[in-house]
Amino acid sequence: MWRRLSWVGRVSGILLALFVFMALFAPWIAGDSKNPEDWLPLIKFGPESADIFTSPFLAAPDSAHLFGTDYIGRDVFARVVHATKNSLLFSVAVMIASVIIGTLVGAVMGFFAGRLDMILSRIIEVISNFPIFLLQLTFLAIFGSNYFILFFVMIFSNWISYARYTRAEFFRLRNLEFVQAARVLGSSRSRIIFRHLLPNSLTPILVLIPFDLASTIIGLGGLSFLGFGEPIHVASFGELLNQAREHFQRAWWLAVFPGGALFLLTLSLALFGAAVRDMLDPRLGK
Residue among 40, 138, 180, 281 that touches another protein (CB under 8 A): 138
Q: Is 150 in the site for another protein (CB under 8 A)?
A: no
Report the nearest approach of another protein to the CB of residue 256 (Å). 7
Q: Is 13 in the site for another protein (CB under 8 A)?
A: no
Nearest-angstrom CA–CA distance, 78 and 49: 9
Q: Is 274 in the site for another protein (CB under 8 A)?
A: yes
User: Closer CB to another protein, residue 16 or residue 193?
Assistant: 16
Distances (CA, A) of 34 to 37, 62, 82, 234: 9, 21, 19, 22
Q: Is 245 in the site for another protein (CB under 8 A)?
A: yes
Nearest-angstrom CA–CA distance, 167 and 111: 8
Q: Are 70 and 60 in contact (CB under 8 A)?
A: no
Burial (0-12, 13-18, 19+ Cβ within 10 Å), 66: middle
User: Closer CB to another protein, residue 103 or residue 158?
Assistant: 158
Nearest-angstrom CA–CA distance, 4 and 6: 6
Report the nearest approach of another protein to the CB of residue 97 (Å). 22
Footprint on this chain of another protein (rule: CB under 8 A): 8, 129, 131-134, 137-138, 141-143, 214, 218, 221-222, 225-226, 228, 238, 241, 244-245, 248-250, 252, 255-256, 259-260, 262-263, 266-267, 269-271, 274, 285-286
